[in-house]
Homo-oligomer: A and B are copies of this chain.
Amino acid sequence: MHIMNRILAALFAMLSFTSIGYAADSLPSWNDGAAKQAIVKFVERVTREGASDFVPVPERIATFDNDGTLWAEQPLYFQIFFALDRVKTLAPQHPEWTTQEPFASLLKGDVKGALAGGEKAIAEIMMTTHSGMTTEEFDKVVKDWIATARHPVSKQPFTSMIYQPMLELLEYLRANGFKTFIVSGGGIEFMRPWTEKVYGIPPEQVVGTSGGLKYELQDGKPALVKLPTLVHNDDKEGKPVGIQRHIGRRPIAAFGNSDGDLQMLLWTCIADGPRFCLYVHHTDAAREWAYDRESHIGKLDKGLDEAKARGWTVVSIKDDWKKVFAYQ
């Protein structure tokens, strides 16, 4: 962010302490229901200087899941489409794939058959397509893909599949002195090349699933080579661990959409002081997708029960969001 923008954002945040109208206008894609009111009330509570619930700026840490929380995740996590495209690109260098599963099915266009191998097959596809090159090479591959690939249903660029209300929420929180982080099961190096441009979240505020890295000299120049090993699985119990490793302090607000986010929300909200936890509930089959307890992707079951029991905010996309995607 340009330094002038930072100054303006900070000044704006100060002015906002006295202006509820500003807060309401910051979330124009949200209907004026209980979810929006809970968000605004929380932000006003922790930013009112001198009040008992005031939280100093450095402690205003907010963590967001990505898939299903900031952008869509149907019909498959978008990173899987990236990996499938990589398999096609890399196939000429791997003649053995024509007979070797899960690659053989993939190359015949049979995605379902390839993924029939379950988590093991997916892990093999991910490892193979996300390693064997330097971090800089991978960064370029991701940037090229994200600039050109299209979502199979909407035919939009994947970065158009981000939720407009959540983008407004990120900006509203930052304008109020929050530092916004992504804490996602997605690959950390798959997200970082575009999160700053798309969400305003710089690479150092992205926490994700991480593979091994090897430092080596290539023609006398240091390089970091991506290894086909899993170093940190940033899902479920891995989310609080990832938060501790990267951020080193407990968030005061956390946002998710699935059971994979439950531990992050518990870690955030079962602690002293003012806390805010929110689940995005996918209830809109017309404008997005409708799924929860039985879904293969982004299953929200225990989380829905915990949210009810603990009084967390649950956003119903159908009822709470005026707009889902900016392109609609």
Contacts and interface: CB of A to CB of B under 8 A. Distances in A.
Most buried by B among A206, A244, A248: A248
A285 interface: no
Contact of A57 (B2, B213, B237, B238): B2
Contacts of A228: none
A93 to B, nearest CB: 25
A150 B217 CA distance: 42
Given A204-B249, A266-B222, A135 B244 contact: yes
B10 A215 contact: no
A251 to B, nearest CB: 11
A247 B214 CA distance: 16
Most buried by B among A213, A214, A221, A263: A213
Interface in A162-213: 177, 179, 188-189, 192, 196, 202-206, 210, 213
A7 interface: yes
Contact of A11 (B1, B7, B56): B7
Contact of A244 (B7, B61, B224): B224
Interface string A1-40: 1111011001101100000000000000000000000000
Contacts of A153: none
Given A3-B14, A224-B240, A58 B263 contact: no
Interface string A241-267: 100111111000000000000010011
Contacts of A206: 248
B224 A241 contact: yes
A279 to B, nearest CB: 17
Contacts of A2: 56-57
Interface in A59-115: 61
Given A10-B6, A204-B246, A248-B206, A57 B1 contact: yes
Given A3-B13, A56-B2, A263 B215 contact: yes
27 contacts: A2-B57, A3-B14, A6-B57, A7-B7, A7-B10, A58-B196, A179-B204, A192-B249, A204-B205, A204-B246, A204-B248, A204-B249, A213-B241, A213-B244, A215-B240, A215-B241, A215-B263, A215-B267, A220-B270, A221-B270, A222-B263, A222-B267, A222-B270, A224-B240, A224-B241, A224-B244, A246-B246
Given A206-B248, A222-B267, 19 more contacts: A2-B56, A4-B14, A6-B6, A7-B7, A10-B10, A58-B196, A58-B202, A135-B244, A188-B245, A188-B248, A189-B248, A204-B246, A204-B248, A210-B245, A213-B245, A215-B240, A222-B263, A224-B240, A224-B244
A-B interface, 9 closest residue pairs, ranked by CB to CB distance from nearest: A203-B248, A215-B237, A204-B247, A192-B248, A222-B267, A213-B241, A222-B266, A7-B10, A215-B240
Interface of A: 1-4, 6-7, 10-11, 13-14, 56-58, 61, 135, 177, 179, 188-189, 192, 196, 202-206, 210, 213-215, 220-222, 224, 237-238, 240-241, 244-249, 263, 266-267, 270
